[in-house]
Structure 1
Amino acid sequence: MNPADEILDVVDENDQVVAQAPRGEVYARGLRHRCTFILARDADGRIFVHRRTATKLVYPSLYDMFVGGVVGAGESYDEAALREAEEELGVSGLPRPEYRFTFLYDDGAGHSWWSAVYEVRCDLPVQPQVEEVQWHAFLPEDEVERRLTQWEWTPDGLAAYERLRAFRAAR
């Protein structure tokens, strides 16, 4: 199936489903929907970082420290988090990602989605989807921090990462 044809739930400012539409229409019309962000770490605690392919519908060729994606119509955040993590990392049998929090991402320019943030440990050898991932590596967190000002990152991933740092600091 063409990703643009995937049916998504359209949600309101309270994350309540108000309609359903194909992903391509959701993106074109700037309709609010649901996404998952999963920070994957290897056995050494390094973070999976990747560069998105140039063919991605949103934020092509940018770097991201999260795997994840849209929540399909009728799918829960938890279901989508596990599905998306396994798909993007190219693994099966991943432990269920641990939910951290949800926030509304809105850049004021037509990109708005409810974002559920998770963390997962991936001890399996990864084989990311070539259609989605141009480059990848597991990087120590201090290197990710250094690269924040050097590489062009997905704006929603940066927003999720900043909130995750604050979430950890508050615990």
Structure 2
Amino acid sequence: MSAADEILDVVDERDVVVGQARRGDVYARGLRHRCTFIQVRDARGHLFVHRRTSTKLVFPSMYDMFVGGVVGAGESYDHGALREAEEELGVSGLPRPTFLFKFLYEDGAGKSWWSAVYEVLCELPVDPQVEEVAWHGFLPEAEVGRRLAEWEWVPDGLAAYSRLRALRERG
């Protein structure tokens, strides 16, 4: 089964399931769905950053400071977060990511998705999926900050990162 054939829950503005559709149809028709964003840190506190492959359905070849992806039909955010983190990092036995907050991302072109943000510590050697990740590294937060203006970042990841930084600054 291709990624475009995966079945997703379609949700309303309150994140209530109102139907299901193929992932390709969800994207093509701009149907609201669910996604996870997991910020991964190593033992030194460095952030996992990667550049998406050019074959990704959404935001190809852009940089991201989160791993994650769509939540499958009938799947919980928590289960989706762990599944996506292990898949993208190429690890098994990752601790369960800690839920931080959820927000409705709107792209400005009429498309939106519910976005659950998590964090996890990864002390395992990573081996990211070559189909998903073209480049990766664990970068100090200060370097990520410097790269924000230099690299082309996924817009929903930037929105999640901005909200997460604001949350942490408020204490």
Normalised TM-score (structure 1): 0.99
2:43 counterpart residue number? 43
Note the alpha carbon deviations across 1:82-111, whole angstroms, 9 max, x for none: 000000000000000000000000012143
**Stretches of structure 1 lacking an aligned partner (at least 5 in a row):** none
2:158 counterpart residue number? 158
Q: Is the 8 A contact 1:31 1:110 kept in 2?
A: no
Following superposition, the deviation at residue 170 of structure 1 comes to: 1.6
Q: Secondary structure at the match of 2:104?
A: strand
Which runs of at least 4 in structure 1 moved beyond 2 Å after TM superposition? Answer: none
**Taking every aligned residue pair, what percent have the same amino acid on both sides?**
78
Instruction: Return the letter of the residue paired with 1:134.
Output: A
Normalised TM-score (structure 2): 0.99
Q: 1:143 and 1:33 mapped to 2: Cα distance?
A: 32
Note the alpha carbon deviations across 1:42-61, whole angstroms, 9 max, x for none: 01000000000000000000
Matches within 5 A, 1:2-13: 2-13=2-13
1:169 counterpart residue number? 169
Q: Secondary structure at the match of 2:25?
A: helix
Instruction: Return the letter of the residue paired with 1:166.
Output: A
Instruction: Return the letter of the residue paired with 1:153.
Output: W
Matched, 1:56 2:56: yes
Q: 1:15 and 1:2 mapped to 2: Cα distance?
A: 26
